[in-house]
Amino acid sequence: MLVDDLKVTARLAHIDLDEASLGAALPAFEQMLDYFAAMMAADEDGALREPTVSTSVVGYCMGPQALRSDVVNNQISENNTAHNNPSNNNPNSKANSNLNNPNSNNPATNFTLQNSLLNSAPDVNGRFIVVPNVL
Amino acid sequence: MSEFSAYFESWESKIGAFIDYHWPSAFQGPSLPGQKGGTTATSSPMEALPFAVKDNIAVQGFGLTCGSALLSQFRPSYTATAVQRLIDAGAVPIGKTNLDEFGMGSSCDTSAIKVTNNPWDLHRVPGGSSGGSAAAVAAGLVPFALGTDTGGSVRQPAMFCGVVGLKPTYGAVSRYGLVAYASSLETIGVLADTVSRARDVFAVIRGPDPMDQTSRSVPPWAPSLTAGDFSSTPRRRIGVLSPEAVERAVAHAVAQSNQTILRSATLEPEVDRAFRRTQDELRALGHELVEVDVPTLRYGVPAYYTIATAEASANLARFDGIRYGRRPEYAENPDDLVTQVRSQGFGPEVQLRILLGTFVLRSGFQDRYYLRAQRIRGAIQRDFERLLGVGPLQDAEAGESGDHRRVDCILMPVFPRRAFGRDEEGLSPFAQKAADLYTCGANLAGLPALALPVGVEEGLPVGVQLVGAAFSEGLLLDLAQEYEAAHPIQRPSLFKSYWG
């Protein structure tokens, strides 16, 4: 973790940290990130091996009523063919218009979802959506 | 009222539980109908009972500081649903209690407004973040108070102050009127002088609310909230989460060199002694205790803080001096205005958590932190489901024998240490976070948990917690009330009971 990383993060968060404050914040910041890094071991030790039932505790607690009846649930097919063709950026393609599982851990599905969102954005910069200033 | 006023002022001057309070002129003091729990056919158990509200929950007529300098002048224009339900039931809100800034802390010491002390020892913290609410109830200033629990913020101060703390199932109580910190984790909870009182309060505040889409009805199979005759209630099968197993698991997950984390997972001898004694006492009441394991809990704290800080960075974006927050005298442009307000208004702990949350959501880091934390959250939820189930106990399952049968609830420690001091033997901010190990699991899984005082060790209260399946608050309260009947809750010296 570099001070520069913390500076960028602070700017994004609209928090102005002078050099002294940065120096004071950095150890606590690094200490927490080091602890967060302990989660990496979960990939190897089997803690996550069981198929994920749901990563949304909100959905679990709220049950079937979690979604309002008037909300359209766009879905992406799990079997979408874009897995084989990640360069398919056509927003009208069947593969990209089916958003099935936004919580999917499948990188290919996530990639397709990202492409779909990027193609729908009015303005993009690389792989980022450009949001106009409102103030 | 005058005797009680003197009692109230005497305690409040020492513990500083309230940020703001005023007794309504119509309030005649503790000797009103209803104070004994509703003795007439028409009276409500809440009738004329005063209560306190954590100062991150809106109550019209009071401020809403969230313990932050940024909101020190803010007045809400409406009342939270949970508070309004209590008012409608006859209870009277008399003040707002101190908290860690925006609920971020375990000591109440990150409040920018004032310091709150523990009624058992004024040199120690009351816990947090609902420390003011816990201290007010422990000193007998109010019979109950509302708090909020995002990662243990009701249960940990309840243990530190020796009162009952109920964190309900996520969605059981409306969050409308609660200033959001980590929306998918936090619930409004109850701190009360007795289990029976916690039951009465929860019965009033629970239920769906059209103003909060995450709130929901109590399922028909949920255990009743009506207290029964404990001699005829079924003996329970209680899972015991072994602290030793948790310590070993944490040691496996983190670098051996990180002694702070390893120490934070270890119960101090007094807490360990009380935890073991409670197991014996529950067995003596006829319950069956079996050892259980929640293997993924070893990743609970990092997953919890990843998700909580990510949500905090988004939720606290509204405090920009434009929508909320006091504006500076001068700013070059809107960006400068926002930056000035947030830099000067938020305290160091809130700034740290916003920075962490912003960092883990940054492009390129999401997979590494936030998405992995969400997967761990799912795994923790599955571990609890495996032990507790997700619905009513099936007849076939109830008759099943052997260790694979699920348990009615899980007994575990609340916090590895009793109330700590502010001297060099206190806990560092990082150690306080690491010690959330036993409480944050219930928040990650959205389950109800009840902290219950089980005794006093070396002059300080110790508690345990019971975690149950979603909407099993009735079962947890029954078990706790049975225990309380056999082992009455102890009170700090100079405590007087005015509330029946």
pLDDT tens sequence across B375-411: 999 999 999 999 998 765 554 444 454 445 689 999 9
Q: How far apart are CA A97 and CA B431, in angstroms?
A: 47
CB contact under 8 A, A53 and B339: no
Nearest CB partner across the interface for A57, out of B295, B351, B444: B444
Residues on chain B touching A106 (C-beta within 8 angstroms)? none
Q: Please give the span between the terminal C-alpha atoms of chain A, in angstroms, as a whole number.
A: 32
Mutation for testing the A interface, residue in B175, B214, B381 having most A CBs under 10 Å? B381
Same domain, A28 and A72: no
Radius of gyration of chain B (CA): 22
For residue A134, being part of any structural domain is answered with no
Do the domain assignments include residue A61?
no
pLDDT reading at B36 higher than 50: no
pLDDT given at position B256: 58
CB-CB neighbors (< 8 A) of B369 in chain A? 36, 39
Contact (CB<8Å) A61/B184: no
The verdict on residue A56 lying in a domain is no
Question: Of B261, B217, B275, B193, nearest to B437 (Cα)?
Answer: B261
Structural Rg of chain A based on CA atoms: 20
Torsion of CA B150, B152, B154, B157, to 10 degrees: -140
Per-residue pLDDT at B435: 95
Is residue A77 located within the same domain as residue A125?
Answer: yes
Q: What is the pTM of this model?
A: 0.84
Q: Based on the domain organization, do A72 and A40 belong to the same domain?
A: no
Question: Mean of the pLDDT values across residues B75-93?
Answer: 97
Q: Is A83 in the same domain as A118? A: yes
Give the 3-state secondary structure of residue B23: coil
Q: Tell me which chain B residue has its CA closest to the CA of residue A14.
A: B339
Kindly state whether residue A39 falls inside one of the protein's structural domains.
yes
The complex's ipTM? 0.88
Q: Which domain holds residue A25?
A: 3-44
Q: What is the mean pLDDT of residues B274-303?
A: 95
Is A65 in Cβ contact with B446 (below 8 Å)?
no
Those residues of chain A that have pLDDT short of 70 are 1, 49-110, 134-135
- A vs B, Cβ pairs < 8 A, gives 159
Q: A88 and A121 share a domain?
A: yes
Rounded Cα distance, B374 and B369, in Å: 9
Q: What is the mean pLDDT of residues B416-433?
A: 92
Q: Do A54 and B381 touch (CB under 8 A)?
A: yes
Q: Indicate whether A50 belongs to any domain.
A: no
Q: Which residues of B touch A36 (CB under 8 A)?
A: 302, 305-306, 360, 369, 373
Between chains, do B371 and A13 touch, taking CB under 8 Å as contact? no
> For residue B260, which phi and psi values (nearest 5 degrees)?
-60, -45
DSSP summary character for residue B403: T
Does some domain include residue A60?
no
pLDDT score, position A106 = 58
pLDDT at B55 over 80: yes
Active site residues of B: 54, 129, 153
Tell me what the mean pLDDT of segment B95-115 comes to: 98
User: Would A55 be classed as within a structural domain?
Assistant: no
CA distance B255 to B74: 44
**B355 and A16 in contact by Cβ < 8 A?**
no
Judged against a pLDDT cut of 60, whether residue B217 lies above it is answered with: yes
For residue B354, what are its two tokens? 């916003």
In terms of domains, do A78 and A26 share one? no
CB of A15 within 8 Å of a chain B CB? The answer is yes
- pLDDT one-digit tens code per residue, B481-497: 999 999 999 999 999 99
Alpha-carbon distances, residue B461 vs A3, B3, B274, B457 (angstroms): 43, 27, 10, 6
The answer to whether B382 contacts A13, with C-beta atoms less than 8 Å apart, is no
Residues A39 and A76 occupy one common structural domain? no
pLDDT at B15 over 90: yes
DSSP-assigned letters across all residues of B325-343 = SPPPS--SSHHHHHHHHHH
Residues A35 and A72 in one domain: no
pLDDT at B183 over 50: yes
Give φ, ψ of B93 to 5 degrees. -75, 125
Residues on chain A touching B320 (C-beta within 8 angstroms): 14
Q: What is the pLDDT of residue B327?
A: 87
Is 70 exceeded by the pLDDT of residue B451?
yes
Tell whether A22 is covered by a domain: yes
Name the minimum distance, in Å, from the CA of A53 to any CA of chain B.
Answer: 7
Q: What is the pLDDT of residues B433-450, one digit of tens each?
A: 999 999 999 999 999 999
Look at residue B404 in the predicted model and tell me its pLDDT: 52
Chain A residues within 8 A of B170 when measuring between CB atoms: 57-58, 61
Asked whether residue A78 falls in the same domain as residue A124, the answer is: yes
What pLDDT score was predicted for residue B11? 98
The verdict on a CB contact (< 8 Å) between B360 and A135 is: no
DSSP state, B191?
Answer: E
A23 and A73 co-located in one domain: no
pLDDT of residue A122: 81
CB atoms within 10 A of CB B62: 22
- Strand order from edge to edge, sheet including B460-468: B18-21, B92-97, B50-54, B144-149, B187-192, B164-167, B449-457, B460-468, B409-413, B237-241, B288-292
Nearest Cβ partner for A60 among B302, B343, B381: B381
Q: Which of residues 41-80 of A touch B (CB under 8 A)?
A: 41-43, 45, 47-48, 50, 52-58, 60-63, 65, 68
| Residue, of A112 and B428, whose pLDDT is higher | B428
- For B137-177, give the DSSP string: HHTTSSSEEEEEESSSTTHHHHHHHT-EEEEPPTTTB--TT
pLDDT at B157 over 50: yes
Residue ranges and CATH numbers for the domains of chain B are 2-235+409-486 (3.90.1300.10), 302-368 (no CATH)
User: What are the Cα distances from residue B149, in Å, to B172, B173, B201, B255, B447?
Assistant: 13, 12, 16, 29, 12
| Gap between the Cα atoms of B285 and B236, Å rounded | 10
Residue B215 DSSP one-character state = -
Task: Report the domain count for chain A.
Answer: 2
